[in-house]
Amino acid sequence: MKENIIIKDARGNNLKNISIEIPKNKIVLITGVSGSGKSTLAFDTIYAEGQRRYVESLSAYARQFLQMMQKPEVSRIDGLSPAIAIDQKTVSKNPRSTVGTITEIYDYIRLLYARIGIPYSPATGKPISKQTSTEIIKKVRNLKVGTKILILAPIAKSKKGEFKNEFAKFQKKGFQRVFVNKKLYNIDEVPKLDKNKKHDIDIVIDRLIISKTLENRLADSIELCLNISKGLVYIYHVETKELEIFSSNFSCPISGFSLEEIEPRIFSFNSPQGACIDCDGLGESNFFDPELLIPNKNLSISEGAIKIWEKGINRYYRKILNQLNTQINLPLDIPFKQIDKKIIDILLYGSEEIFIEELQFKRFYKSKLIPFKGLLYLLQKHYNFIKDSWLKDDFDKYRVSKVCEKCNGYRLNPKSLSVRVLEKNIGEICNFSIEKLFNWFDKCQDRLKGSNKIIASPILKEILNRIKFLRDVGLDYLTLNRKSSTLSGGESQRIRLASQIGSGLTGVIYVLDEPSIGLHQKDNSRLLKTLYKLRDLGNSVIVVEHDEEAISAADYIIDIGPLAGVHGGEVVAKGNLKEVLKNQDSLTAQYLTGIKKISVPKKRRIIEKKKSLEFHGITTNNLKNINVKFPVGIFCCVTGVSGSGKSSLIIDTIYPALYNKLNNSNKQSGSFNKIIGDHYFDKIVNITQSPIGRTPRSNPATYTGTFTPIRDWFALLPEAKARGYKAGRFSFNTSGGRCESCSGDGVKKVEMHFLSDIYVKCEECDGSRYNQETLEIKYNKKNISDILNLSVEEALDFFKVIPNINNKLKMLNKVGLGYISIGQSATTLSGGEAQRIKIAKELSKKATGKTLYILDEPTTGLHFDDVKKLINVLQELVNSGNTVLVIEHNLDVIKSADWIVDLGKDGGINGGEIIAQGPPEKIVKVKESYTGKYLLKHLS
């Protein structure tokens, strides 16, 4: 087996025929500026070919279920083994997917509860056990010889009725005595019972005196009793008047609560046997919120007070309003706040006394009147019928979710939650943080006794191993019931990393994309130990990374550059850390050795104490009733370990709350008491890393508005004027100028069935997107398709004499995106690139000086040199009078901020507090601040 992965002439994207040998079974770190070609080498070449070869080796039947990668542009790769990519994409958007299910920890916990769990009666709080008929007979037979007993079969427990038919039926079968409400009667002498009162009735099956010769009669009587009472046996001691209860089922003899066989499936919230019937196993209920539906009560219904109808009321709802107007005098033309509360309640929640025409979603139906159940009910019915996701998204703006009251958010039904292990049900332990969960299961091994300990031992070993892996990658603040869809890209990646270690695979190539994203410096060492474990199992670990600590810890480093785009795509340096540091051509080495650096600002901005944005009493998620202050007109940074509450504070609370204030909107925000200083802003912008468009048609030129003046310019050219072409002629989204064969995409998809679908260049337009007539219009020898293929740098030079185009391109270049083509598909851009395009768009707008910009980890995917450019851009936004609020772990960004809010001290329940607030120089003096500890050496 080859000891190296040998790559010959890799030329994908901007790679310039790279040939390199990469050592196997090592941690290999690929670094370089954004756009230099790192991901192309790691993911589009090494991973793509490794995965493609593995899938090709499978049968045609198996291949149809697997996504197959396109063959990379490379002459030859030797020494490859199966490859697994662990990127930063969210694991699943399925609301049923949780941290517990994707790590398989929950499967083992379900097994544990099924094997050693004990059910408890919700009514009495006492454990419920079941016994076989043999065990019951043995216990009764072991009573003291001479003991007088009655064997009773309960047929009614706290049940209303006269029970005449029951008494007659049992009398016919030969039974002579019966207990009614704890009194013994001959069955034909029972007094008439009040049918409206509850009664307890037990049939006397047999009267016995315990003796050694009783075996057969006792067995027959117990079996008969179990059949009549469906699994219950009451043993009544005649002399002491005590009652012993036995059950062959998991059932409570007092309340009647019963449980079928305890199996793993009853603990699954994805199965009918386990799921809570109210929330269908989701743990939360979604409903239309009146406050979101009617945010402005100064408007009348006709003026759009009910916001979902602000663009017009459809015919059915108009008919409903008219009917309500007739029946309860619902006023449509006065401010909503002046409408009588009783009428509002009927409008929203309905009344059995009001009848309306039934809402139908069929073309042909017979109209019929039904009781009016309220507007909220009708909207929910309408929502359930909607199939289009975009329309559901529109309705979702008026819906909120709350924890299901039936299951308390545990997702399971009462029967499943009645089963406990060491006094805890499965829902309670899934609410523990990973750290607390590890300690609880660790103690389980000591607290369990006898056969339960033997049964649980192998299951606990698997659970503890998997939980430990999650701890090791810095996720000890998560809970198992956390929805996968709420995880960040970095958290999702580290969960998959932990799962891979748990799988124990060897001989695999793992390709990771910036695993340190979202991690505080405090947790970096634990992550690196995890990578070492993966390597030591006998795997090759290839990491695309920029973190200084990770670079220093790697076995082998490959620096791609020297710059981005057409100026990159080469191997600038390779080898161990010492070898790379000696290379003076390496931009990475220059920053690591201090030749180049990001300097601490010589002078920080003056803080105006009276001019600040304040939020008081924030309790969102794990935030502990905190009060936070952000001075206005400066560069603020929010720091803290993973899970400390940074996103809860900024993304879940401050952004939606201030947005609602400024825009009279109804975004759902976290919980807080009051806001002060919102009048200092006229706009708030959350610059996220979400794509700038959902389709390949979106690109930097269209998003930033650069393409509009370009099309206008082409429409002004003499040849275009002579032909009567307007600006729309140069759009690839509309008919006229585009190629109709590929609808302006430039490529056509070919389905390959057992192989991956491939995209081939459109033969009609040769990938240009436009028809021949449109391409004949040229400016400086370039047609509209040529323009879209220009990089930002090239386009800047090309349009240097056209200010309204050049100015927009300057901003893209300023944020470090000079290497991307202006027509590059939005779907091929990284999250960091998308975010910087959005920053460029904001920079090109006319500044109001009263905007609050929010960015969540903008250094994702950025090299030291890119970070330097980003800081300059953020400082420029602040210099225009705006306020910039950044969530960040990068110490170069943190040291450049004017004000820091440090949350912690740790994550989860141990976080949610403000450890320190103030300038960086103040933060480093706070002993409790982890951020201050690591920041100190960067300030010197």
DSSP states along 307-337? GGGTT---HHHHHHHHHHHHHH---SSS-GG
Nearest one of 154, 172, 376, 151 to 253, comparing CA atoms:
154
Distance CA(680)–CA(913), nearest Å, equals 26
How does pLDDT run across 42-51, given as a tens digit for each residue?
Answer: 999 999 999 8
Candidate ranges 372-386, 604-618, 690-704; pick with highest mean pLDDT: 604-618
DSSP state of 486: G
What mean pLDDT is predicted for residues 106-135? 88
Average pLDDT, the chain: 89
The answer, yes or no, to whether residue 755 has pLDDT greater than 70, is: no
d(Cα 264, Cα 268) in Å, to the nearest integer?
A: 7
Cα separation, 191 vs 611, in Å, equals 84
What is residue 567's DSSP assignment?
G
Model confidence band, residue 751 (pLDDT cutoffs 50, 70, 90): low
Confidence at residue 771, expressed as pLDDT on a 0 to 100 scale: 93
Please state which of the ranges 85-89, 491-495, 736-740 shows the lowest mean pLDDT: 85-89
**Is residue 250 scored above 70 in pLDDT?**
yes
CA distance 876 to 847: 11
pLDDT score of 866: 92
**355 pLDDT higher than 90:** no
Mode of pairing for the β-strands spanning 758-761 and 747-750? antiparallel
For the cut 70, the answer to whether the pLDDT of residue 756 exceeds it is no
pLDDT for 467 beyond 90: yes
pLDDT number for residue 418? 92
pLDDT value for 694: 74
- Which domains does the chain carry? 4-90+488-593 (3.40.50.300), 133-248 (3.30.190.20), 285-403 (1.10.8.280), 598-691+829-940 (3.40.50.300), 696-825 (1.20.1580.10)
Instruction: Please give the Cα distance from 785 to 699 (Å, whole number).
Output: 13
Rounded CA-CA distance 666/646 in Å is 22
Residue carrying structure tokens 């002459």: 75
Max CA distance (Å), the chain: 120
User: What pLDDT shows up at residue 810?
Assistant: 92
Q: Are 468 and 438 in contact (CB under 8 A)?
A: yes
Tokens 């450890």, located at residue = 915
Express the helix, strand and coil content of the chain in percent, nearest 5 each: 40, 20, 40
Residue 253: pLDDT band with limits 50, 70, 90: low
| Backbone torsions φ then ψ of 692, nearest 5 degrees | -80, -5
In this prediction, residue 500 carries a pLDDT of: 85
Summarised one tens digit per residue, pLDDT across range 427-441 is 999 999 999 999 999
Q: Residue 669 CA to chain centroid, in angstroms?
A: 17
On whether the CB atoms of residues 899 and 918 are closer than 8 A, the answer is yes
One-letter amino acid of 216: N
Q: Which residues contact 647 (CB under 8 A, 6 or more apart)?
A: 488, 856, 887
Give dist(CA 303, CA 309) in Å, integer. Answer: 9
In percent, the amount of the chain with pLDDT more than 70 equals 96
Cα dihedral: 759, 764, 770, 771 (round 10): -170
Report the alpha-carbon distance of residue 175 to residue 179 in Å, rounded: 12
The rounded distance, in Å, linking the Cα atoms of 283 and 572 is 53
pLDDT digits (tens, 9 = 90+) for 199-235: 889 999 999 998 878 878 889 998 999 899 888 888 8
DSSP class per residue in 251-315 = E-TTT--EE----GGGG-TTSTTTB-TTTTTSSEEEEE-HHHH-S-TTS-TTTTSSGGGTT---H
Query: What mean pLDDT comes out for the span 179-190?
Result: 89
More confident residue, 69 or 505: 505
Work out whether strand 243-247 and strand 4-10 pair parallel, antiparallel, or are unpaired.
unpaired
Q: What is the DSSP string of 911-934?
A: --EEEEEE-HHHHTT-TT-HHHHH
pLDDT of residue 86: 87
Residue 743, sorted as left (phi over 0), alpha (psi -120 to 50) or beta, turns out to be left
Please name the amino acid found at residue 320: I
Asked if 81 and 507 count as a contact pair (C-beta separation under 8 A), the reply is yes
Helix/strand/coil (H/E/C) assignment for every residue in 581-602: HCCCCCHHHHHHHCCCCCCCCC
Pairing of strands 419-421, 424-425: antiparallel
Q: H-helix or E-strand containing 235?
A: strand 232-237
Q: Which of 620, 609, 808 is nearest to 710 (CA)?
A: 808
905, with CB counted inside 10 A (0-12, 13-18, 19+), is: middle
H/E segment holding residue 447: helix 434-447
pLDDT the model gives residue 91: 59
Pair 41, 58: CB distance under 8 Å: no
Q: Note the pTM of the prediction, 2 decimals.
A: 0.80
List, for residues 787-803, the tens digit of each pLDDT value. Answer: 999 999 999 999 999 99
What is the reported pLDDT for 532? 93
- Whole-number Å distance between alpha carbons of 101 and 94: 11
DSSP string, 685-748: EEE-SS-S-SSTT--HHHHHT-HHHHHHHHHTSHHHHHHT--GGGG-SSSTTTB-TTTTT-SEE
| 8 A C-beta contact, residue 744 and residue 697 | yes
Residue pair 701/822 in contact by the 8 Å Cβ criterion: yes
- Look at residue 244 and tell me whether its pLDDT is greater than 90: no
Q: How does pLDDT run across 882-934, given as a tens digit for each residue?
A: 999 999 999 999 999 999 999 989 888 889 999 999 999 999 999 999 999 99
- Give the E-state strand segments of 768-907 in sequence order: 851-856, 883-887, 899-904
Instruction: Tell me the per-residue pLDDT of 848-873, one tens digit each, with 9 for 90 and over.
Output: 789 999 999 999 889 999 999 999 99
Residues 6+ apart with CB under 8 A from 416: 266, 267, 274, 426
Query: What letter does residue 909 receive in the DSSP assignment?
Result: G
Q: Residue 847: helix, strand or coil by DSSP?
A: coil
Residue 709 near residue 719, CB atoms below 8 Å: no
* Secondary structure tally for the chain: helices H, strands E: 36, 35
Distance (Å, whole) CA 37 – CA 819: 11
- Of 878, 872, 935, the residue nearest 601 (C-alpha): 872
- Cα pseudo-dihedral 723, 726, 729, 733, rounded to 10: -170
Q: Using the predicted structure, report yes or no on whether residue 127 has a pLDDT greater than 80.
A: yes
Query: What per-residue confidence (pLDDT) applies to 922?
Result: 95
Which pLDDT belongs to residue 675? 95
Provide the pLDDT confidence category of residue 291 given band limits of 50, 70 and 90.
confident
- Residue among 864, 863, 852, 819 nearest 837 (CA): 819
Residue 753's pLDDT band (cuts 50, 70, 90): low
Asked if the model's pLDDT at residue 361 lies above 60, the reply is no
Token pair, residue 80, equals: 């490859």
> For residue 659, what pLDDT is reported?
93
Residues forming a β-bridge with 309: none
- Percent pLDDT > 90 in the chain is 51
Average pLDDT over residues 379-396: 80
Name which residue leads in pLDDT, 350 or 367: 350
Instruction: Quote the pLDDT of residue 328.
Output: 86
Q: How many angstroms separate the CA atoms of 886 and 899, rounded?
A: 10
Residues in CB range of 655: below 8 A, 6 or more apart: 669, 684, 686, 854
